[in-house]
């Protein structure tokens, strides 16, 4: 199963990319929370943002319990800042 991960703003700097195709094993079902844990392993600095991130799956706000399916697009965004 493959999901496309989109990083926004400062998260692009942390990960070194704006998008990433994450290949997930098909031997189990995956949630957004499971994917985040996997991404934290790859880029530990992302964990510092945990709890403040805005998350979407297929352009709809999502929580960590959201199931993922092949071809989903996951957006990971830092909190909105005003100025």
Q: How far apart are CA 48 and CA 30, in angstroms?
A: 22
- Cβ count within 10 A of residue 75: 20
- Domains of the chain: which residue ranges? 2-77
Query: What CATH code would you report for 2-77?
Result: 3.10.20.30
pLDDT at 32: 98
Could you report the per-residue pLDDT of 23-80, keeping only the tens digit for each? Answer: 999 999 999 999 999 999 999 999 999 989 999 999 999 999 999 999 999 999 998 7
Q: Is the pLDDT of residue 20 over 60?
A: yes
Token digits of residue 53: 């991130």
pLDDT at 13: 94
pLDDT at 80: 76
CA separation (Å) from 12 to 19, 44, 65, 75, 80? Answer: 8, 14, 24, 12, 15
């Amino acid at each position: 199963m493959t999901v496309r991960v989109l990083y926004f703003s400062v998260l692009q700097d942390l990960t070194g990319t704006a998008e990433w195709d994450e290949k997930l094993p098909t031997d189990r079902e995956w949630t957004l929370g499971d994917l985040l844990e996997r991404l934290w392993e790859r880029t530990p600095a992302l964990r510092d943002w945990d709890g403040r991130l805005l998350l979407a799956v297929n352009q709809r706000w999502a929580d960590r319990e959201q199931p993922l399916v092949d071809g989903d697009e996951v957006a990971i965004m830092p909190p909105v800042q005003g100025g």
